[in-house]
A = this chain, B = another copy of it.
Amino acid sequence: MACEQETANTLREAGFRVTPQRLLVASALRHAGRHLSAAEIADEVRTVYPMVDLSTVYRTVEMLKRLQLATVTDMGGDDLLFEWSAGEAHHHLICSTCRRMQVLDHRYLERLAEEVGRDFGFQADLQHFAIFGVCQECREGAKT
């Protein structure tokens, strides 16, 4: 599978060893197409490789983060969420009332990043932003 080869090469080049656990965690994230909690990643990996430990998932995800292959986000829930990040930068609008989430295109934040870089020399990490608030439906519902 091309994906696994690619991941394996990236790991090796960075000086990390290639293990089935690491490939499976990466694969789970890559193909999920959404945010996964550590427990969800473990569940997914265990369908193939039943004895992986949660601590291995955390350790692997930490490594993927350093390699910029994955992002970690606190979406306000009980646990951290992980996502494959090789794709386009994107962001989320999270409704504090109904917990629903919608995707926000990166161009909404591009200008902010530029301004902050220009004015403060601050290189903002805006790969993955969570904006909390109240969504349209909940606002309309609240009027009742």
Chain A residues with a Cβ under 8 A of chain B: 74, 93, 95-96, 102, 104, 108-109, 111-112, 115-116, 120-126, 131-136, 139
Contacts and interface: CB of A to CB of B under 8 A. Distances in A.
**A108, A122, A123, most chain B CB atoms within 10 A:** A122
A122 to B, nearest CB: 5
A120 B102 contact: yes
By Cβ-Cβ distance, the 6 closest A-B pairs, closest first, are A121-B136, A124-B133, A125-B133, A123-B134, A93-B122, A123-B133
Given A111-B111, A115-B108, A120 B139 contact: no
Copies of this subunit: 2
A132 B122 CA distance: 9
B93 A116 contact: yes
A111 B109 CA distance: 10
Nearest to A117: B133
Given A95-B122, A121-B135, A123-B134, 11 more contacts: A93-B120, A102-B120, A109-B112, A112-B112, A120-B136, A121-B136, A122-B135, A123-B135, A124-B133, A125-B132, A126-B133
A104 B118 CA distance: 13
